[in-house]
Structure formats: C-alpha cells, structure tokens
C-alpha cells in the first residue's frame, strides 16, 4: 500500500518536543539505583540520551517529506511516496512511532507532540 499526499498539506509543520519519556526514565532510574545499580544506570543513561535527542532533534512535516533535523542541519529525509504503513504504539501513552518505507522499517521513540504527529500523519500519509 503506497500512501498519497493530501492536497491541503502544503504548510510545513514542526513538531514540538515532548520530554515525557526521557523524564520518566530518569525519574525511574533514581530509586532503581538503590535497588539494582546497574539497571538504574541503564535507565539513567537511556533517559539522558533521549533527553539530549529531544532537545536537539526536530521533526518537520513538509508537503512531500518527513524531515529530521538537528538545528538547521537536515539529517534525514523520508519522502511520503515511499511510505507503505505507519503506526503509533500505545495510544493512551504513546511511546513508539513506527513507519515502513519500501526498502526499510523505522522505529522512533515519541520525543515530540504525539497529537500533532498523529494529525500530520493522517493528513499527509492517510492509511488505506
């Protein structure tokens, strides 16, 4: 299934960052450090890594592509015409964003506003 681009999706939308996942991981790491120091360190490291990514990365929905940027530098471009499917896992507490292109599969943690993400996906890459 190949996605189509909605005709009214010309405006570029930059998703706001969401610090929920990194903050929860870091807060969870604190008591874990006393119970299981190694596991607590893993949670803390992952939380701090995702916090850094949340601060530095931006997702932009353009008329034709999903762009990932660090500052003003384009890191990766994903043209909608190559998308086959997408999904946001755990609707109540969105944690993971999945999308499949013709030649690859991508999983991204939800480090941005999940509501805007969903509305942009439904507008620009409607599921068939």
Model pLDDT for residues 19-77, shown as the tens digit of each residue: 999 999 999 999 999 999 999 999 999 999 999 999 999 999 999 999 999 999 999 99
**Is 78 contained in some domain?**
yes
Domain region containing 111: 13-124
Residue 10 has a pLDDT of 64
Q: pLDDT (tens digit, 9 = 90+) per residue, 89-127?
A: 988 889 999 999 999 999 999 999 999 999 999 999 887
In this predicted structure, what is the pLDDT of residue 11? 87
Assess if residue 4 is contained within a domain: no
Cβ–Cβ < 8 Å for 63, 80: no
In a domain, residue 101? The reply is yes
Question: Would residue 33 count as lying in a domain?
Answer: yes
Residue 5 belongs to some domain of the structure: no
| CATH number of the domain bearing residue 31 | 2.30.29.30
Asked if residue 3 is part of any domain, the answer here is no
Q: Give a yes or no: residue 7 inside a domain.
A: no
Inform me whether the pLDDT recorded for 3 exceeds 50. no
Q: What distance separates the 2 farthest-apart alpha carbons in the chain?
A: 55
For residues 115 and 47, give the distance between their C-alpha atoms in angstroms, rounded to a whole number: 22
Q: How many domains, the chain? A: 1
């Amino acid at each position: 299934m190949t996605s189509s681009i909605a005709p009214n999706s010309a405006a570029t939308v930059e998703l706001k960052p969401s610090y929920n996942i990194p903050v929860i991981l870091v807060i969870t790491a604190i008591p874990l450090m006393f119970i299981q120091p190694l596991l607590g360190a893993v949670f803390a490291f992952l939380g701090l890594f995702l916090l850094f990514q949340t601060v530095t990365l931006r997702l932009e929905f353009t008329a034709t592509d999903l762009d990932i940027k660090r500052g003003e530098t384009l890191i990766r471009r994903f043209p909608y015409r190559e998308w086959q499917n997408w999904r946001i896992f755990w609707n109540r507490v969105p944690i993971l964003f999945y999308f499949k292109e013709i030649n690859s599969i991508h999983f991204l943690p939800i480090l941005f506003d999940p509501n805007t993400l969903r509305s942009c996906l439904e507008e620009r890459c409607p599921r068939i």
